[in-house]
Structures are given as structure tokens and as C-alpha cells.
Structure 1
Amino acid sequence: MITSSKVFLNSNVALRHLILSKYYSKHSVVDVDYQYMQKSRVPTMHFQKSLPRLPIPELQKTGERYLNALKPLLTSEQLAEAERRTADFVTKDAKILQEKLLAKDKANKHTSYISEYWFDLYLRDRAPLPINYNPLIVHQNDTKIDYNNQLVRATNMLTSALRFMLSLREKILEPEVFHLNPKKSDTDLFRTVTGMLPEAVSWYGAYLFKAFPLDMSQFDGLFGATRIPQLEKDRIVRDPKSKHMVVQKNGHFYTFDVLDANGNLLSPGELLGNLHQILNDNTPQADHPLGILTCQNRDLWAKQRTHIENIGNKDAFHKIDTAIFNLVLDNEILTDDKHKLLKHYLHGDGLNRWFDKSFSLIVSKDGVSGINFEHSWGDGVAVLRFFQDIYKETTTKPFVHPDTKPLETNRSVRKLEFNLDEKSKQFIETAKKEYKDWYESLSIDYILYEGLNKEACKKFKVSPDCIMQLSFQAAYHLLYGNYVGTYESCSTSAFKHGRTETMRPCTEKTKQFCDSLHMNKMSNNELRAIMQECSVSHSELIKEAAMGQGFDRHMFALKKIAEDNNLPMPEVYNSYEYNFLNKSILSTSTLSSPSVMAGGFGPVAKEGFGIGYSAFTDKLGAAVTSYKPHNDSSKFIEALHKSFLDITKILSN
């Protein structure tokens, strides 16, 4: 059975290569390797069937973890009341809800207990997508200056992105695996052994190598997908066989096929030719850029889209919705202005965007490249893998060079035309003004601190992530003198259809450290000892969250079970402490990779801060957003800088 399966897979790929060889011999394009970025011997979804399922935590443990997260935030009187409510919840109401959740989970073994609820949470929220949900990630610039030309970089990014997509479609993209000891498991032997195992047990084979395959279900959401606005709850549409791109420039939409009739990728010269044609189109800025409507409340946009579709625009919308992804060509120069760069990739002015697409690859006039992605379909694991792979290929083995000549494309580029009545034009004018007022109320700043880095933290035997989170707590305490609900996103992709879990980095130990630091009542040695305890506790909380043993998703699922079954809502969910904890004043997330120049997102609460951060090999960095009427991100950055200095001094001593 195993042998015949492998033979079939190999023969299928061989047949494909034979067809491609004939195609390329006629078209004089590189070689068959051009079609795919990767040709993994282990099929992309090989481990998916045997992935462990996301565990449902024990009620008692969830209650304990919940109370531990509340302790640094509440007064003794508030905590006593919270303990009473939590005890009642765990011993009474939650028992029935837990039974129903376990039964539902048992009946849906193909997924995780949180997946459906998490999709629903995103798709039902009526808040606009930019700033509220869509994050940004910006690539490092190419070290070869000439390759940062907008046309060259956009073409290379497009070519590599499509090769990644075709590898995924052909199921020969390398599976995502976390290697605990890469020298022993990221090897040919690992791939040979696990590739020969049946899918039903392949995960266990990887585990013997101390390697942990990750969930790949979100990868299908990368391409050919769009979130469609609808009243009350949006929907995601996907076209797994999409052959065309949509490109935005000056608020206009252009489309062209990137695969031929046989599903083969056009040559780099042809892709270059198409983008060259679009960049050379001198059509001025659109008077009525339709993309601005994706910046609005989802119910409002749903009504407006229905109206615009019904006056003869369904085909044009369909072209955008089913495009492989959205490539945005902008006119801004960003290289020397980090503030402008962060604003540009987080929200821009909305005139040359379509925030509903699964992701938009944005390339500025000076070749800065980055991604803004819609969040409902997936999380950072899939996006970062795609982001890293295309960056690596475009900077080490680019297909287009500064002297590459565009090939004639027989004018295959088509500009989408929309029929807009006066009502539609008014929609756009109103959206322009409202969006401008909104994004101008956003404060955004950043810090790059070279006094400490990832390796130094490890040398001092403290977790780099703990140091970052400890610095955020110290900065907030320095400014406001108290502690608030803090959210750190942690991936649960080690499990089938895992999404994320919340890690609560504000603990009793971090509170003790910050209080002691700012009251100057302890020596550096004493503070250092507390910091070590913080690091141990922090690492344990991260491990629990990653293993599905947090409490936030569990409590959220129990709440949804009560709603689904029309049961009385337990008192704990309407309590002061539950709502205070879940008002994420400090919302934080990290994406650390050598390919990342910057990453960030908007505040979750209007009084809060959105903090995207990274511990790099040579520095610590963070991008901080807040709303001007409530907070000032530059003041937070100043306090954060002081916290970095204080912590560096303590560690150095």
C-alpha cells in the first residue's frame, strides 16, 4: 500500500514534468524547475490526518489559570468577589457546558473545538477591517540596491508567490514542521522515513525525531480568496483554480492571466511585460476609487456592494474576488521614513487598497515590499511561511534582473471598468472623508533598541520574549501607575485546525518587578532574581498556551455553548473582572524573522495600544499604535526606552 502510493505520487509528478518539458522546449523558458518553488518528497498535507487534536482543558485548571491572570489586576476585595464567582462557575454552571462542549468536540473529530467559533467571531464583527483587524508585515529591502526597483521587485515577488502557490496546489510544498533539533531531524532521513509512513501515523513518526508537524489547513486560504461583506455575518469565497491576478494602481484595477490554458506559469519576461504595461499606463488617479469602500463598517459596505453589483458590476467584482491575490503598486517613497512606512502598510489612505482580499502584496515606488492581510481566514503561521519563502527566493535566486527586457504580452492586461451611478459616487466620497478622519486619529511610533538583543537575553539566561513583555508592563506602569488586561497571541498550530491561544504576560511576578523597579526599594541583584522568576513563569505560560492549556479559548467556547443551547449565561461572563481582563489595553504579538523589517496592527480597544514586536539578533524592536484622543504612542515609546535601559542595566550588573 505504501509503495504503490509513493509510486503513484512520483509518477504523477514525473508525468507533469514531461508535459512541462515539452511546453518549455517550445517557449524557451528556463527549465521545468521554474514551475514550482519546492518539490517536496513528503506531500504537503501528509501529516494533516494524524495531527493531534486541540485538547479541551480541565475545568478546575481553567478556573485556576483565570484567577492567576486576575490577581495582578484586582484589589483584594475585587479578587475575593472574583474567586467566589469563579468557584460557582467551575462547580455549577460550567459542568453542564463542559459536557456539551466535549460532546460537540467528539462529534467533530475533523476539526478543533475552537475553529468554528473563531471563524464566526471574526466574520460576525461589523467593525471595519483596516486598523481593527488587518495586520501589516514589511519585507527587508533587497541588499542588492538595483533589485529594489519597483518593477523588478514586484515581478520577482509575483513570480515567487505564484511558484509557491503552484507547489501548494500540486501538494509538493514542503510541509510546515517545527524541528526541536534541526541537525537531527531536518534531514533527508527524516523525509524518507516519514514520507513512507501512512498518513494516519505519519505524525508519530515525526515525533520520534523530535519534530512536530504543524497544521496546514490555513494555507488553502492564501490564494484565490476574498471576504465578502454581508449583513450580520460575512462569508469567505475561494476559487482554488484561479488563473488571474488583480493589480491596483492609482485606484484602478487591472487583471491578467498568469497561467496559460494548461495551467502553466507564464515566463518571468511575460509577467514583467504585464506589470510594465500597467506601470506605464498614465491613467490619472481614479476619481471614484472603489477600494475605499472596503474601509467601512461591514453592514454598510454590504448594502453598498449589493447596490453597486445590481447596476451592472457583478462580473468586475467577481474578477477581484477570485483573483489569486491582490498586487498593489503604489507611488509613495518609503525607504527613509519608518513612520510613513508603518502607516502606509497598516492603513494607507484607502484609495489604492482592497482590504477584503486574503492578502495584498504592496510594492512602493522605491521597491519596499510588504503584506497587509485579512485575518479571519488565518493567522501568522501560514502568512509568515509564505512571506519568508518568497523573500528568500527573490533575494537569492531572482528570476528578473535590472537588465531583463519585458516580453510582448499581446496586450493581455485588461483594466476593469465599473459602472457607477450618483448614489455609488456619493458612497465613495463619504467613505473617503470618514476614513481620513479615522486614520488621522491614529498615533503610530516605533523603537529600535540596540542595547540588548535576542542572543544577549539568552546569554543572561532570560527569555527574550519575557524581556519584551516585562518592558511593556514596566512602560505602562511608569506612565499610568497600574496594570491592565494584556494579550499576547500564541499559536496552537501544533494541533489540527488550531488557531491561537491568549497568553497573559501580566503576572504577580511582573507586577512585583515593576513595583520594585519604580519604587527603588531593591538592589539590582534582587531585581535580577525577580526577573529570573518572571522568565521561568513566562516560559511556562507560553508552553501551556502553545499546548492548548490556556484558559481564554476554553472560557470563550463555554460561553458560546451557553448561547448555542439557549442556556442562562453564567454570572462570571457579565462580571467586572472578566470584562476588565478581556479589554485588551495592551494587545501584543510577535513575528521574529530575518526577512521582517517591520510588523504591526491597530489597537484592539480605543483606550489601548497595539504592539507588534521582535527580538532580533542585533536589537529589540517594537511598533506601537494608539488613538490620539486617548493615548500617545510616542510617550509609550519613551517609557519603553527607559524600561529597556533599566532592564539592560540590571542584566549587565
Structure 2
Amino acid sequence: MITSHCKNIGLHIKQVAGSVRASVACQLHSSVIERSSASGDEFQYIQKSKTPTMHFQKSLLRLPIPDLDKTCTRYLRSQKAILSPEEYKHTEEVVARFKGSPGPDLQAKLKLKDKNNKHTSYISAPWFDMYLRDRVPVVLNYNPFMAFVPETRLGYSDPLVRSTNILVASVRFMKTLRESLLEPVVYHLNPAKSDTDLFRRLTRWTPAALASYTAYAFKAFPLDMSQFVNLFNSTRIPEVGRDRLKSDDKARHMMVMKNGHIYVFDVFDKDGNILPPDHIHACMSYIYHDSTPSNKNSISIFTTENRDTWASLRAELLAAGNEAALDAIDTAAFNIVFDSAEVDMDPEKMYHTFLHGDANNRWFDKSFSLIFTADGQTALNFEHAWGDGVAVMSYFNEVSKSVKEQPYIHPDSRPANIDASQLVRRLEFKLTPSLEAAIQRSQHHYQTNTSALHVDVLESKVLGKDLCKQYKVSPDAIMQLGFQTAYYLQNGKSVATYESCSTAAFKHGRTETIRPATLETTQFAQAVAKSQPPSKAELKEMINECSKVHGNLTKEAAMGQGFDRHLFGLRKIAEGEGGPLPDLYTDPSYTKINHIIISTSTLPSTAISFGGFGPVVRDGFGVGYQIQNDWLGLVVSSYPPHRDGAGFVECAEKAYEIIHSALSS
């Protein structure tokens, strides 16, 4: 699901590759890199915030429940963009009846439930439940990936060097978080005034019950950090009907996969201190150079299965005596994967390797896995039920910065002179004939599912943020208008489209949906599709209106005023009462708007070079995108023959050329 997908798909791959080659060509030997000290308190923490990590949590505003009439109005406006006149008239009547009854009664019950649960938000529990009850495999359907910017320093892209440096930075982040020394995540609307020492002193001195209000006075917005507890030592556990999240913040070990084998070793000592970098380097080196033949029958393939199937297989594994090995996986800090693939900076190879790859060598249920290819490229693949982008991106950005500025392992570093074979344990599993047969079946299912996925890429310099600012239009609105126009040029209609928006400015906020398919985007798409389109001046006026409407939709979503989560919450109240659902939820138009044909997401972090996720429906597109100062890029996933990704990309390129031509007229 794209909402949760928090994914950046910034794709300037060829340019990135060129910059890597140029940088490596002129790179000095690693000995010129300033060496970081691995002793003392400084090594143990990635930062030492004077403001406690969860200082703002108690005083965060609560996620509002929108007015029922406004939700119905917003819902109808979005429906009108994708329905025929006949369909819309019927849906208008259905909504009118819902507003009369039972909508107000459900609204009152939702508000009462929210009032009685002030420690959380009205969407939090149902949203967790939605993820954990879904029985489809997490791979392709939920887990996204984000690739790190390529390492440019000579020797530092070596998989062993890079993985050890990222592991060291990760456990430093982990310890900092555990001891409440990680700086709270705050969105600064005016960084010049709020991202300052004065702001930090004032908010730190303000009691926790009021701290967020002090931040608001600076136009700074603390973000909910409740999901951070499941970032480390956490795994999604399959159970029949509904999965659960398992975590153990006392666990001290790490998990590493190579050639279908799973290894564990401690990264903290018995007192909770991070072990020295050369010690961690020695353990990682032992695994990296282990010559044990590949395991072609790894139980990790089970994490790609239907969740009920996997739950039954896990029960068999436990009955066969594998409880200790599974617990070691479940409670490990996170997962590191050494992958034998070489991706050659090729977008399609990277996409398939990092989104799914060799399932014998993945554990998709871990909170997140870091994947290192044989040629030194790195990506994060994460499970989505436990949280959204705030926690993942906070970790991703901070670790990227730390590895860049303060690597502890260098190309000429030597591992500690210790016997790592006594510290690293390769997990062994007892398999029954039934489990061995299940492995073969799961591998066949996985191959069938992943081979159907197709990827297409567009990189274009026709538009960028600079030009959008010059023409006073929203870069995100322009990207979304391109998707709408492309689909219309290809298929002659507008369809349900999803863009994720975080509501983390509220306590236990998750996400809200921006609906980019609007009456205005449809009008523009119809205009450019005509044999004799309007003048460029008229098109430019339409573009400005599309940008304005999209901006308003984005503001509403960020403030918890979208209609999707509200209707979802009302539906959950109705389902809890039993009996038939209100007509609104059985109306074919409700099904239609929630059958997401164009699922989109962006994540404009400069620490990310590339990323992706699968379509959320078989006949849909998964569109990850990024717009930088002077270029834009998108990766489009699809399942041919249900959808033609190459044709969509071709139409998108044409759409952005039309938009640029109109803007520059």
C-alpha cells in the first residue's frame, strides 16, 4: 500500500553512476580520511540530545475527526472526477441517505470512542489491524525499498566495509534511541527561527505536557515518534487470521544472511555497551568470507507466502523443535543481507534485487533489512505494519550522515584479532518431509509471482523544482498532473489515484490519502487529448488551477481533514455492531474509488537514490517519483498484460513536455 510506502524513487541513476565514476577516479587513498575514535562515550551514541527523545509526545495534538458533512462533500468531489454522470448521480443519492442515517449515529459513536481513548488516535488501532489482518504476502504487496546514494570514496563501497560501517552507525542510533538521547523529530516551517539553540532550550525547559505548544509558537511541529519502539528488535509474526508484532528491546544480537544461511552475533556487551568496531568487523568478515555452500532450501521463503499459509508452516517449525532459532530471528536488532547479485547501477536490476530478490536469502517479516549487493550497492527493505515513514526516514537519514562523516571501518582496517567462529552462530533448522515439500511449493509460488512484475523508468530534464518555482506552481502538483494526463492519454479516462500524506503531526497519526484525480486534472487531461487543444495560455491557466486545488488537498490531508481515514473509521464502527453495512460501503462507486489504479508516493530525501514498490492491485501502476531542481524521475511497476507500463511512461514523458510548453508560453 502506497500510503505506507513512504518510498522515494529518485531515479537519476545514470547521472549518479557518472558521478560515482568521476569521484572514484580522483579519490585519494582511504588513509587521508580522518579516523574516528571508537573509544569513550562519543562512540556509543550517534548524537546526544539535551531534549529527551519523547519530550513532545505527551503534548501532541490529537488527530481530529472531520465534520461528517465536509467528509461527504470531499468524497463526492473526488468521486465526480472518476465516475460517469449516471454513476455519480446514484452515488450522490447514496451519500445523501448516509448523511441522514446512519452517518450521524456512527459519527457520534466514533467521537465517543475517541473521547474514551485520549492516549491514542481514532485511526491507530484500526490501521494496525488493517495491516495485520491482511492475508496477502508482504513482499510485492506491502514492503517497499529505498536505495542509499552510492558510496563514492575509493574502497568504501566494498560490501564488507560498507555493511560494517552502516551496522556500526545503526547500533549507535539504536543505543541513542533506547537511552532517549535521540533528538525529537520536528518539522520546521521556518527553520531560520525554529531550528535553533534558542528553540531547543525553550522547549526543553517547558514541561512535557506543554512542550508541543511552545514549539507551535515557533511554527515548528513535533512529529509523533510512537512507532520508533518497533524500529529495532522487531518482527511481524504470522498467525492465522491476524498477525502480531513481536519485539524485545533487551536483545543484544544482530542477524545476517548470506547464501540462504542465517547468522547471529552480539553487537552489545552484557552491560549494554556497543562492542568495538573492529570486533563487529571481525564477526562480519567471518560471515562474509564463510564458504558454506548455498542453502537452496531456506525456510526464509516462507516469509513470501500467504500469511495464513506461513502461520501454519511456522507452527510446524515450532513443533519440529525450531523455537530457539526462530526467536533469535524475531528478536534480532534488524537484518543484514549479503546478496550475490551485481546490479551495475541498472534501475531494473536494482528494482528487482531490492524489492524482492532471492527469497532464500531474505526475511521479509523483519522490521527492516539492509541489502548489500556484490558490487557495493545498498538498500533498505522494510515491513509496513509496524509503522510509516517518520521512523524509517529518521533512521535512514541519520545513519547515512554518520557513515558519510564518521566511518569507523576503512578499506585498510583490520578486523580484531579474535576467534569470530566462537562469537558467530549459524542457525540450524530441523525440517520434516512436510516442511521440505512446503519449501518447494513456496519457491514455485514466489517465482510465479515475482516474474510477473515489470518495471519502466522515466528520467527527464524537461521540468524540475526550479522551473516550477519560477512559474509559481507546486512541484508535487505538477508531477501528479503528469500522471493524470498520462493515464488519460493512454486510456481515455481518469481513475482512482492514491498519494500518501503523513499525519504524524498528531498523536499516533498514521497517514491520510491525497486524491490527485480531481475535476481540474480531468479537465486538463481532456483538453490536451483533443485534436485541437486550447491555447497555451488557457492550458497554463488550467495548470495553475490544478496546482491550487492539489495544494489545498495536501493541506487538508496533513491536517487530518481528508475523507478516506474518516470513512474508514466510521466503517469500522459499523462493522463492530454487526448486521449489514450502510449502503455507502456497498455502493459499487465506493469499491471503485478504493480500487487504486495509480498508487503513488515520493520521498525527496537526498540520502536516497532510488526506490520502489509494487502496484496495489493487479491492474494498477505503482508509481514512485522524485522531482529535483532540474530533473524529474519516476519508476513505474505493473503486471503485464493487465497494464502497459512502457506505454504509461511514454505518455508521461509527453505530458510533462505539454505542461512545460504551456507554462513557458
1:605 to 597, 617, 620: 617
Establish whether residue 640 from structure 1 lines up as the match of residue 649 from structure 2. no
- State how 1:332-371 maps to structure 2 within 5 Å: 332-371=341-380
Cα separation, 2, equivalents of 1:381 and 1:477: 33
Which residue of the partner structure matches residue 30 of structure 2?
none
Which residue of the partner structure matches residue 492 of structure 1?
503
TM-score by length of structure 1 reads 0.95
Deviation, structure 1 residue 137 = 0.6
Establish whether residue 435 from structure 1 lines up as the match of residue 446 from structure 2. yes
Contact 2:234/2:248 (CA < 8 Å) preserved in 1? yes
Cα separation, 1, equivalents of 2:272 and 2:564: 44
- State how 1:566-581 maps to structure 2 within 5 Å: 566-581=578-593
After alignment, is 519-528 or 187-196 more displaced?
A: 519-528
Contact 2:302/2:442 (CA < 8 Å) preserved in 1? yes
Alpha-carbon displacement from aligned partner over 1:375-400 (angstroms, at most 9, x marks no partner): 00101121111111111111122111
Establish whether residue 271 from structure 1 lines up as the match of residue 280 from structure 2. yes
Matched AA of 2:358: D
Cα separation, 1, equivalents of 2:587 and 2:579: 17
Runs of at least 5 residues in structure 1 that lack an aligned partner in the other structure:
1-27
3-state SS of 1:360 partner? strand
Cα separation, 2, equivalents of 1:386 and 1:335: 26
Alpha-carbon displacement from aligned partner over 1:380-429 (angstroms, at most 9, x marks no partner): 12111111111111112211111111113432111001111211111111
2:225 to 216, 239, 242: 216
Matched AA of 1:194: T
Which residue of the partner structure matches residue 508 of structure 1?
519
Cα separation, 2, equivalents of 1:336 and 1:66: 42
Establish whether residue 541 from structure 1 lines up as the match of residue 550 from structure 2. no
3-state SS of 1:200 partner? coil
Cα separation, 2, equivalents of 1:366 and 1:183: 41
Establish whether residue 38 from structure 1 lines up as the match of residue 38 from structure 2. no
Contact 1:349/1:436 (CA < 8 Å) preserved in 2? no
Contact 1:156/1:398 (CA < 8 Å) preserved in 2? yes
Which residue of the partner structure matches residue 205 of structure 1?
214
Contact 1:329/1:364 (CA < 8 Å) preserved in 2? yes
Which residue of the partner structure matches residue 15 of structure 2?
none
After alignment, is 55-64 or 559-568 more displaced?
A: 559-568
Cα separation, 2, equivalents of 1:83 and 1:409: 72
Deviation, structure 1 residue 567 = 4.6
Contact 1:443/1:632 (CA < 8 Å) preserved in 2? no
Matched AA of 2:366: K
3-state SS of 2:101 partner? helix
Deviation, structure 1 residue 249 = 0.3
3-state SS of 1:447 partner? strand
After alignment, is 403-412 or 599-608 more displaced?
A: 403-412
Cα separation, 1, equivalents of 2:492 and 2:603: 29
Contact 1:441/1:629 (CA < 8 Å) preserved in 2? no
Which residue of the partner structure matches residue 24 of structure 2?
none
1:582 to 578, 586, 594: 594
Which residue of the partner structure matches residue 311 of structure 1?
320
Matched AA of 2:573: I
1:480 to 481, 491, 495: 491
Change (3 A) 1:606 1:464: same
Establish whether residue 126 from structure 1 lines up as the match of residue 135 from structure 2. yes
2:433 to 422, 442, 454: 422
Establish whether residue 249 from structure 1 lines up as the match of residue 258 from structure 2. yes
Alpha-carbon displacement from aligned partner over 1:206-243 (angstroms, at most 9, x marks no partner): 11111100000011110000000000000000101120
Which residue of the partner structure matches residue 299 of structure 1?
308
3-state SS of 2:81 partner? coil
Cα separation, 2, equivalents of 1:571 and 1:413: 59
Cα separation, 2, equivalents of 1:445 and 1:383: 26
Runs of at least 5 residues in structure 2 that lack an aligned partner in the other structure:
1-36
Which residue of the partner structure matches residue 629 of structure 1?
641
3-state SS of 2:120 partner? coil
Matched AA of 1:525: A
Matched AA of 1:325: F
3-state SS of 1:189 partner? helix
Matched AA of 1:279: Y
Matched AA of 1:88: R
3-state SS of 2:90 partner? helix
1:559 to 565, 571, 582: 571
TM-score by length of structure 2 reads 0.93
Establish whether residue 388 from structure 1 lines up as the match of residue 397 from structure 2. yes
Cα separation, 2, equivalents of 1:284 and 1:245: 22
After alignment, is 539-548 or 614-623 more displaced?
A: 614-623
Establish whether residue 195 from structure 1 lines up as the match of residue 204 from structure 2. yes
Matched AA of 1:499: R
Deviation, structure 1 residue 652 = 2.1
3-state SS of 1:351 partner? helix
Give % identity. 49
Deviation, structure 1 residue 302 = 0.5
Which residue of the partner structure matches residue 18 of structure 2?
none
Cα separation, 2, equivalents of 1:537 and 1:409: 63
Cα separation, 1, equivalents of 2:109 and 2:528: 47
After alignment, is 361-370 or 252-261 more displaced?
A: 361-370
Which residue of the partner structure matches residue 5 of structure 1?
none
1:285 to 283, 290, 294: 294
Which 4+ residue blocks in structure 1 deviate beyond 6 angstroms?
none
Deviation, structure 1 residue 349 = 2.8
Contact 1:591/1:599 (CA < 8 Å) preserved in 2? no
Establish whether residue 76 from structure 1 lines up as the match of residue 85 from structure 2. yes
Contact 1:231/1:298 (CA < 8 Å) preserved in 2? yes
Matched AA of 1:593: S
After alignment, is 42-51 or 626-635 more displaced?
A: 626-635
Deviation, structure 1 residue 205 = 0.5
Contact 1:292/1:432 (CA < 8 Å) preserved in 2? yes
Cα separation, 1, equivalents of 2:290 and 2:644: 41
3-state SS of 1:389 partner? helix
3-state SS of 1:133 partner? coil
Cα separation, 1, equivalents of 2:441 and 2:347: 29
Matched AA of 1:527: L
3-state SS of 2:48 partner? coil
Establish whether residue 232 from structure 1 lines up as the match of residue 241 from structure 2. yes
Contact 1:488/1:588 (CA < 8 Å) preserved in 2? yes
Contact 1:35/1:265 (CA < 8 Å) preserved in 2? yes
3-state SS of 1:315 partner? helix
3-state SS of 2:262 partner? strand
Contact 2:38/2:408 (CA < 8 Å) preserved in 1? no
Q: How large is the Cα RMSD of the aligned pairs?
A: 1.0
Alpha-carbon displacement from aligned partner over 1:118-152 (angstroms, at most 9, x marks no partner): 00000000000000000111111122142111011
Cα separation, 2, equivalents of 1:279 and 1:287: 18
Deviation, structure 1 residue 618 = 3.3
Establish whether residue 111 from structure 1 lines up as the match of residue 120 from structure 2. yes
Contact 2:233/2:248 (CA < 8 Å) preserved in 1? yes
- How many pairs does the alignment contain? 626
Which residue of the partner structure matches residue 456 of structure 1?
467
Cα separation, 2, equivalents of 1:464 and 1:409: 54
3-state SS of 1:562 partner? helix
Deviation, structure 1 residue 581 = 0.6
Cα separation, 2, equivalents of 1:278 and 1:425: 25
Establish whether residue 529 from structure 1 lines up as the match of residue 541 from structure 2. yes
Which residue of the partner structure matches residue 33 of structure 2?
none
Which residue of the partner structure matches residue 71 of structure 2?
62
Contact 2:474/2:551 (CA < 8 Å) preserved in 1? yes
Cα separation, 2, equivalents of 1:287 and 1:295: 15
Alpha-carbon displacement from aligned partner over 1:23-64 (angstroms, at most 9, x marks no partner): xxxxx9433200000100111000000000000000000000
Contact 1:328/1:361 (CA < 8 Å) preserved in 2? yes
Cα separation, 1, equivalents of 2:319 and 2:456: 43
